[in-house]
Structure 1
């Protein structure tokens, strides 16, 4: 049986569909609320729109267990008869006030998953990390780019790097693992967080573009890579998952066109971003909700590029064309 933690998140929900559709193994997934389960069901319904008669059969293949990564009794139950684990559960936040929560969920939670995997003699663990756990470089960032502790690191980056240390610790205790480091993940079903916010804001006529660039990847590609790596004999390796290194302005233009919305043209300057996060910090002192942090402001103008050739070489992997990804997600967004 396969266990998927964080089964109601962006990666987890798409992974559950891929696993259910393949029909190879029994599946168990963790969830936190019934509402989040309903979002997964809605995604299954969308993905089977051309075959509506199979949606319930696919969804019923999942055995759900209500558990968090820090709930040891519930996790112990979840691990019964499990042979493979996909650890997708994580907290994503760049707010320094969430540092303790990030440590508790991402680091301690991952340690719990690793420990139970070792105890239950799991065949293999796939951990969903992030490019945030990799180091910085003026050249293309690779799997070997060394992460360094400094004040520029976001609290999220710190937590994902520490989480990876727990996974690598598991390899020293005999656990076989693979780690994937996705860039910004593009996928349908979640428009109030992550890259989904791009679609929501651009649909309303976002006016501004930022000068930075980053690495982007289709959630379908993330899932496919994870499944292939788990089936392969490869162990104790990490893989960057980035299909496209492009500017945010290029991405925003493509999304706006797909949504038939106004293409943003006004460029935000670096000094404006630096001023904006400082003003936001000041407003936060008086109880206003923080919306922009130093790390997110600087990522908005950073010129970052990732080398994903390792996955292409080892698995002959091909990424989905960006236009296809955006058209698919836009179609889903408009259907909502």
Structure 2
């Protein structure tokens, strides 16, 4: 089987690529620029260089571009690319990648009758709570609701576009991963949080919680979704163990021989921090990881149930401690020269070029899944 994969340099996309290759399938990976050879070292991957936001090749459906031609020659498509920015700014870029790019993939899938597995996000469906984890049937307007940041808005619009496409003949399955941890986090994405926690003591932690899953388990279920023979447009939550951020940060800091956080900040401190971040954004024109949108999201309990995926996709989510260990091992191997770091030392990074713009740990701007 030939599978066209977007986002193949990101945590989930690269894991999908490796599993497809291990199973004897051919991956046709979309890349914006020639990737570092080590990201695909030893893998049988064909590359198509292109940009999902460049729509010139699709004008009037007249001259098919390289992306369209590549999809035509594949059996299925996994669209795992995305632009993530947890804040109020970068709406144009978020819409261009997450919405415009998805439209482009959809058009080619419909044109050539190819099955699409669209990688969504839990941020585009209902929010769970401590008392009641959400599932695919939970009303979107449940208590709290999603914070309408650039990422949430753009991914929600993209999901609506996919569901509208299904009504017009698109064959698609949608998967919504939880908070993913695991190896091959080249950017890094969630690994940035671990790098941040490996340096110094963080007495405060986010007040909410997340649903921890392993990128290897999510990748396996995403691949199985290609052969899903149920109704088109079916959505699946691929989550895991529901933990508070305090518990997660406590476990991670122990791996790096660091003191765990003491407490989650109260509403007043959260408000001050978020407003301060927004003020800095207005003054500098550059929105960092601290802003009112990110603060509001961090106090929510993004807790979910994956029972539908377990029953219909055979999804299995391993123990969260195993995923954390694998992620820590990868981060140490890839980014940290010393093992383990002591409280008196500052980690040194093996290859600063691995970061999109130097050593800029806070935030998740511009990272692929």
| TM-score normalised by L of structure 2 | 0.80
How far the C-alpha of 1:80 sits from its partner, in A, is: 3.3
1:129 maps to which of 120, 133, 137: 120
How far the C-alpha of 1:256 sits from its partner, in A, is: 1.4
How far the C-alpha of 1:183 sits from its partner, in A, is: 1.6
Instruction: Kindly provide the CA deviation profile for residues 181-200 of structure 1, in whole angstroms up to 9, marking residues without a partner as x.
Output: 11221123437653212210
Q: Does 1:119 align with 2:116?
A: no
Q: Determine the C-alpha separation between the residues in 2 that align with 1:113 and 1:193.
A: 25
2:286 maps to which of 279, 286, 289: 289
Q: Determine the C-alpha separation between the residues in 1 that align with 2:268 and 2:38.
A: 40
Q: 1:155-194 residue pairs with structure 2 within 5 A? A: 155-190=150-185, 193-194=188-189
* Aligned counterpart, 1:269: 266
Q: Determine the C-alpha separation between the residues in 2 that align with 1:180 and 1:63.
A: 24
1:99 maps to which of 91, 96, 105: 91
* Aligned counterpart, 1:84: 76
**Structure 2 residue matching 1:286: 3-state secondary structure:** helix
How far the C-alpha of 1:266 sits from its partner, in A, is: 4.5
Q: Does 1:70 align with 2:53?
A: yes
How far the C-alpha of 1:116 sits from its partner, in A, is: 0.5
1:299 maps to which of 294, 297, 309: 297
Q: Determine the C-alpha separation between the residues in 2 that align with 1:127 and 1:206.
A: 38
How far the C-alpha of 1:95 sits from its partner, in A, is: 2.9
Q: Does 1:11 align with 2:9?
A: no
Instruction: Give the number of the structure with larger relative contact order, counting CA–CA contacts within 8 Å between residues 6 or more apart.
Output: 2
Q: Determine the C-alpha separation between the residues in 1 that align with 2:13 and 2:197.
A: 25
| Residues 40 and 302 (structure 1), Cα distance of their counterparts in 2 relative to 1, 3 Å cut | same
C-alpha RMSD over aligned residues: 2.1
Unaligned runs of 5+ in 2: 58-64, 335-369
Q: Determine the C-alpha separation between the residues in 2 that align with 1:316 and 1:218.
A: 15
Q: Determine the C-alpha separation between the residues in 2 that align with 1:267 and 1:148.
A: 26
* Aligned counterpart, 1:51: none
Q: Determine the C-alpha separation between the residues in 2 that align with 1:39 and 1:145.
A: 42
* Aligned counterpart, 2:205: 209
* Aligned counterpart, 1:48: none
**Structure 2 residue matching 1:29: 3-state secondary structure:** strand
| Residues 283 and 102 (structure 1), Cα distance of their counterparts in 2 relative to 1, 3 Å cut | same
**Structure 1 residue matching 2:89: 3-state secondary structure:** helix
Q: Determine the C-alpha separation between the residues in 1 that align with 2:171 and 2:136.
A: 18
1:328 maps to which of 326, 329, 341: 326
Instruction: Kindly provide the CA deviation profile for residues 150-176 of structure 1, in whole angstroms up to 9, marking residues without a partner as x.
Output: 894222111111111121122122222
Q: 1:200-239 residue pairs with structure 2 within 5 A? A: 200-207=195-202, 208-234=204-230, 235-239=232-236
How far the C-alpha of 1:140 sits from its partner, in A, is: 2.1
| Residues 88 and 316 (structure 1), Cα distance of their counterparts in 2 relative to 1, 3 Å cut | closer
| TM-score normalised by L of structure 1 | 0.88
Of Structure 1 and Structure 2, the greater helix share is in 1
Q: Does 1:27 align with 2:24?
A: no
Q: Determine the C-alpha separation between the residues in 1 that align with 2:316 and 2:333.
A: 28
Instruction: Kindly provide the CA deviation profile for residues 190-214 of structure 1, in whole angstroms up to 9, marking residues without a partner as x.
Output: 3765321221011113412222112
How far the C-alpha of 1:77 sits from its partner, in A, is: 3.0
